[in-house]
């Protein structure tokens, strides 16, 4: 299981949430006051971690929502293979391929160390 449940009221800007089955980083959170016959609602806006698309949802603050388990790790670059880069995890020595993000295309070279994150069985380079 790569996610856990949390109440909508516990979400904060900068943390992560699953919107439309995609892990997103929260960019905006606003809550309304309860009405005469209703309960307080929250509007959460986020950005998809992997594609950068904006997503949002509105939900009562007492409802449960899925929150992804984010694992941040370090790796060393082994080889650059076209649109992908081959990495070796520094703890488990596991080898895997990851697509090259546009912002790091020029700075990725074999032998350098990078940080990457794992969310819902997908991997992404976050820092060189």
Q: What is the pLDDT of residues 55-71, one digit of tens each?
A: 999 999 889 999 998 88
Q: Where does residue 72 rank: exposed (0-12), middle (13-18), buried (19+ CB within 10 A)?
A: exposed
- The verdict on 57 and 12 lying in the same domain is yes
The band of 1, judged by pLDDT with boundaries at 50, 70 and 90, is very low
- The verdict on 61 and 82 lying in the same domain is no
Contact 113, 74 (CB under 8 A): yes
Residue 79 maps to which CATH number? 2.40.50.140
Which domain range does residue 98 map to? Answer: 71-127
pLDDT digits (tens, 9 = 90+) for 29-43: 998 888 777 888 999
- The verdict on 31 and 10 lying in the same domain is yes
Residue 48 maps to which CATH number? 2.30.30.30
Q: What is the mean pLDDT of the chain?
A: 88
């Amino acid at each position: 299981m790569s996610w856990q449940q949390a109440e909508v009221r516990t979400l904060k800007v900068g943390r992560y949430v699953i919107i439309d089955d995609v892990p997103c980083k929260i960019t905006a959170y606003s809550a309304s006051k309860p009405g005469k016959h209703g309960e307080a609602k929250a509007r959460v806006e986020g950005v998809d971690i992997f594609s950068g698309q904006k997503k949002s949802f509105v939900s009562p603050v007492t409802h449960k929502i899925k929150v992804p388990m984010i694992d941040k790790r370090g790796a060393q670059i082994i080889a650059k293979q076209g649109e992908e880069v081959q990495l070796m995890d520094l703890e488990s020595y596991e080898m895997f391929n990851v697509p090259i993000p546009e912002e790091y295309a020029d700075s990725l070279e074999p032998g350098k160390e990078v940080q990457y994150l794992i969310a819902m069985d997908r991997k992404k380079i976050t820092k060189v």
